[in-house]
Every structure is written in structure tokens, then in C-alpha cells.
Amino acid sequence: MAGGRRRQLGGVDRLPSSRWRVRMFDPGTGRRVSLGTFKTKAEAERAFASATADQQKGTWVAPEKGRVTLDDYVWQWLDTRLTPRGERLRPKTRELYEGFLRLHILPTLGPVPLARLTTAGIRSWHAGLLADGPGASSVAKCYRLLRTILNTAVEDSLIVANPCTIKGAGVEPAEERLLPTLAQVGGLAAEVQPQFRALVLLAAFGGLRRGELLGLTRRDIDLLHRTVTVRVQRQETKGGHHLVGPPKTDAGRRTLVLPASLIPEIEGHLDEWVGPEPDAPIFAGKHGGPVRVVTWQREWTRARKALGLEGVRLHDLRHVAGTMAAATGASTKELMHRFGHASPRAALRYQHATAERDEAIADGIDRILEVSQRDGEADTNVIRFRDAGG
């Protein structure tokens, strides 16, 4: 019995060359595979004993699997990767990942077999990126992507353990940013072309993301109840293809109440710039279709440059909205609801902010704006909203 068992698992035998060969039974394929040859029988037996122990512990990796290079594996990973919601990677996400891989990961690590990726090698690659790469934030993103890919390689039994074990390497450094003042927001809203004024105001006082803003249609605006509903987001690939789909998380689908002082602005925008159809885009291009990202970005860049605010990002206006909402006394759960943040705690998914409190938050923002306008009567950049009466 012992001999039969040994033959099934493999063993050590001497070749005509006088070297000693080690073979193991691969339970994944049902075949015996070679672990290589050794000069002495003792070396071969040690290798066989080590591999047998690894099999018993469930940590053994067949040699041919370990020879798969990172370059070969990542494209298979991209093709089969699913999100936590069980969906394929979105084109924009894949485009981002491919950029990180081609520019920052594969040039150094691509030719390396998975089994030969070591923590020391990963640390050297990481240090090189920090020294000469795209910036600390992007380096952290690259490291997280590589770690995720290699976690899947562990699941696929291609490697025993993930070598990405550098503490803190995947953490993006906190970025200290000076948010634009309300006067600066008012200046930007006044500087952009009139058809984009409402976009700036919705970003700054509704807190919508760019993709959410560009995905809005007439049906998403309810002037009577002062609400805007985020159903989809619109993005654009580098090739100019429009991508429309639901927000990345369930929390992104939401209805929020707008400050009352913003409603005349939105109503005027609908009358002047939006078609009557329910699916007419809120922010349209020359021919009535959704405005292209490059068109908006060109105008946004011009306006910022004109005001000397080149460092202000559209996403900074979302932070302005968040800061004002927090100043009204909104709870963490209410802020999560209003701004579409997904919680890391599963229990919070089932806790919803009430419509009454969301309206109170919007009213609180109104009060902040009223004070700002009173205090800045002499400042031409203070936001002047349209009168509700026209």
C-alpha cells in the first residue's frame, strides 16, 4: 500500500545522467509533474519531502502554474474580474486599470513569473515609483491594484501567498486642499458660459459628482418638491465614447432636496437650455445631445484661468457642499445619504436619512448663503441667485 501511495504521489528516481529527478502528483490535473533534477539523492529527497508537506498543508503550487508571468496573467484577470456586485468592470474602470498596468506596473514586473514575485521585489518596484513615478496618490492606487490582482492569483492557486505586504503602501496620503470660498464659487458660476452656470451651482450646493451632473435629464428635476434624483452617471472614454450606467454603488442612487434659493436658477436653466422631452439632457451640447466631457472641461479650464483659480477642481465644489451640509448639524448617516457615500459597515446600508431631515439640511444651506450674501454686499463675486419671481 505504501509503495502504491508513493507511486501516486510521485517520488525520487535516478536518471541515466546520474542526476536525481523529483516528481509529484498534481491533484489539480491528475498528472505527475517534475519538480526538477538534483545532483544528489539527499537534495532530491529534501525537495520531495518539502513538496509533500506543502501538499498536505494545501499550500503547494504546481511548477507550471508558477511560471505564468504577471504580464500574461493580468489580461486574463481584467477579462474575468467582477465587481463586488457581480458585474464586469466598467469600461472607464478598465481603462484606468490598463493605464496603471501599462505605464507603472508591467514595465518592471510584467516579465516576472508569479512564483518569483517577492516582497523584496515589490518593495523595490514601489520605492522606484515613489522616487520617479506619477505621485504618491497614484502610486498607492497602483499598489492596491497589484495587490488585488495577486490576491486573485492566490485564489487561483497560482501562488501560495500574496507578496504585497508593505504596510501602508496602499494608503493614499491625505491631500491638504484649500477649498474655494463662496465668493470664488460665485465668480466661477458667473464666468462660465450661461449654459454651464447651473452645473457649477449644482456641484457646489447639491454636491453632485461630474458623471452624475452630466447624466441628469429633465425627468430627474422636480421643481415642486425641490429635488434632484441621481439615476445614472455619464462618463466618456478617451476615444470619445459615451458610457451611461447606474452609479457604482447603491448609495449613489439617491434623491436629494435642493436649497430653495437654487430653484429659480434651475428653473431658468430648464426654460432656456433644456428640451421639453423627459429624457432631454440637463446639460446639452450644440446639437441637443449630452455635452461632451472635453467640451465642458475646456470651458471649466478657461473660467478657472480667467479668475486665477486654476487649482480648483470641480470635485472641490462637492466638498464645499459637504462642508456646508455638515455645518448645518447633519449626522454622518444623513451626509452619506445626501452625497451618495457607501458605508463600509453593512448595517448602515439599511438605515436611511429621512426626507424631512434632508429638506432641513437644504434649508440650513440656504441660511448659510443668506448670511454670505448679507456680509458680502460690496463683493461682486458673491453669488447672486435669480429672484424666484423671475
- Please list the active-site residues: 209, 248, 315, 318, 341, 350
Give yes or no for a contact between 282 and 200, defined as CB atoms under 8 angstroms apart: no
Supply φ then ψ for residue 281, to 5 degrees: -65, 140
Q: What is the 3-state secondary structure (H, E, C) of the chain?
A: CHHHHHHHHEEEEECCCCCEEEEEEECCCCEEEEEEEECCHHHHHHHHHHHHHHHHHCCCCCHHHHCCEHHHHHHHHHHHCECCCCCECCHHHHHHHHHHHHHHHHHHHCCCEHHHCCHHHHHHHHHHHHHHCCCHHHHHHHHHHHHHHHHHHHHCCCCCCCCCCCCCCCCCCCCCCCCCCHHHHHHHHHHCCHHHHHHHHHHHHCCCCHHHHHCCEHHHEECCCCEEEECCEEEECCCCCEEEECCCCHHHCEEEECCHHHHHHHHHHHHHHCCCCCCCECCECCCCCECCHHHHHHHHHHHHHHHCCCCCCHHHHHHHHHHHHHHCCCCHHHHHHHHCCCCCCHHHHHCCCCHHHHHHHHHHHHHHHHHHHHHCCCCCCCCCCCCCCC
Cα(383)–Cα(371) distance, integer angstroms: 11
Cα(307)–Cα(305) distance, integer angstroms: 5
Query: Distance of CA 115 to CAs 36, 60, 145, 165, Å?
Result: 15, 11, 18, 15
Residue 344's nearest CA partner among 249, 206, 233, 208 is: 249
Cα(317)–Cα(51) distance, integer angstroms: 58
CA quadruple 292, 277, 339, 345: dihedral sign: negative
